Amino acid sequence: MKTLTEEARDERGVGRLFTLCDGVFAIAMTLLALDLRLPDLGKDPGDAAIREALVDLEPRYLSFLISFYAIASYWRRHRAEMRTVRVSPPALVRLTMFLLLTIAVLPFVSNVLGSYGNQAGIAVAVYAGVNVVAAGTLLVIRWVVDRHQPPGEVASEHGRYELWFDLAAFVLAVPSGYVLPGNGPQALIVLLALSGVASFVTRLLLRRRQSGGAPVRDVFPGSRS
């Protein structure tokens, strides 16, 4: 049985891990906005020139929105998974560091998507690939947290199926830049929207089954019942 000193040390360790994660997520979300800037239009640009420059930034708007949504979702899901964690096992710390690595690189791949997503399929593939790694890391974190779940703690239901559907969306997005040349970012938005709809419908159907007294079995490895 742990002493009060050991428990306090564990709580401080978890708290420091949370603080580091929040800082990396916040910085990554802020860096996304650095790509939203107009080119040099000279000393006295007219309304038409500014309007045209704003319209030309459409790919960057899309990459910003997609990336902000992705980072916010990863932060929300990581916080939910870590809510019941009292001790940070080495495996969880290593996985969290790897997750933060993918989050830190997202502003870069977001810039690639915004600059070349409508021109080269590789831009969409690289962006989607980084997100596949991030979502997959979160799923492994969920598995590690389950293994170290304190007795009597209720497992979080937050984001139960979202990760699996988003992972599928990003996997499908990898070839979308090649299959739909010139519309890679738009295809990615559609796939993420379908992921959200699928997640909502799945939760709704499961709740109806539960309310009817029927047992609910998970078909997604790593999800919780």
Helix runs in 57-183, H state only: 58-81, 90-116, 121-147, 162-179
pLDDT in tens, 20-40: 999 999 999 999 998 887 766
User: For residue 12, what pLDDT is reported?
Assistant: 59
CA-to-CA separations, 141 to 73, 135, 194, in angstroms, rounded: 15, 10, 25
3-class SS of residue 47: helix
Q: What is the full per-residue pLDDT of the chain (225 aa) written as tens digits?
A: 444 454 444 555 577 888 899 999 999 999 999 888 776 676 777 777 778 877 877 888 889 999 999 999 999 888 887 776 766 678 888 999 999 999 999 999 999 998 888 888 899 999 999 999 999 999 998 888 777 665 555 554 545 678 889 899 999 998 888 888 778 888 889 999 999 888 888 888 877 877 765 444 444 444 443
Domain locations in the chain as residue ranges: 4-211
Rg (CA), the chain: 21
Quote the pTM value.
0.79
Residue 6's pLDDT is 43
